[in-house]
Amino acid sequence: MGCMFMLNLIPKPQSVKTKNGFYSLSKNTKVYTEIELPLLKAEKDENADFRIIKDSNFEKEAYYLNVDENGILIKASGKEGAYYALQSIRMLGRFDEGKNKVPFVEISDKPHFEWRGLMIDESRHMFGKDAIKKMLDNMFRLKLNIFHWHLTDDQGWRIEIKKYPLLTEVGSKRAYTNVGGWGSTKKDMREYAGYYTQEDIKEIVEYAKERCISIVPEIDVPAHFAAALAAYPELACRNLKREVLGYFGGLIPKKEGVTDWNRPACMGKEASIQFIMDVYEEVCDLFPFEYFHVGGDECDMSEWKKCPDCQRVMKENGFKTESELQLMLTNKLNDFLVSKGKHMIGWNEILQKEGVNKSVVAQYWTPQRDKKAEEYVNSGGKMILSKHGAFYFDMPYAKVPLKNTYTFNPSKCGVKKENEKNVLGVEGELWTEWIRSADKLEFMAFPRTEALAEVAWTDEDKRDYDEFVERLNHYKGIYKALDLNYAVDRVAMSKNLFKRPNILAKFHNGNPDLEFNSNEEFYLKGER
Active site residues: 153, 224, 298
Q: What is the DSSP letter of 398?
A: T
- Residue 11 preceded by cis peptide, ω within 30: yes
Rounded Cα distance, 216 and 117, in Å: 10
Q: Are 245 and 261 in contact (CB under 8 A)?
A: yes
Distance CA(42)–CA(379), nearest Å, equals 48
Handedness of CA 279, 282, 287, 288 (dihedral sign): positive
- Calculate the alpha carbon distances from 175 to 121, 150, 172 in Å: 19, 21, 10
DSSP H helices in 258-351: 270-286, 302-306, 308-317, 323-339
Rounded alpha-carbon distances, angstroms, from residue 116 to 84, 148, 167: 13, 10, 31
CB-CB neighbours of 186 under 10 Å: 14
Counted residue by residue, the chain has a size of: 528
Which residues face 120 on adjacent strands?
149, 430
Q: List beta partners, residue 218.
A: 150, 293
* Contact (Cβ atoms closer than 8 angstroms) between residue 388 and residue 367: yes
Cis peptide before 217 (omega within 30 of 0): no
* Chain centre distance of CA 128: 16
Of all helices (H) and strands (E), which one includes residue 506? helix 499-508
Single out the residue of 188, 160, 158 nearest to residue 175, CA to CA.
188
Q: Is the Cβ–Cβ distance between 81 and 100 less than 8 Å?
A: no
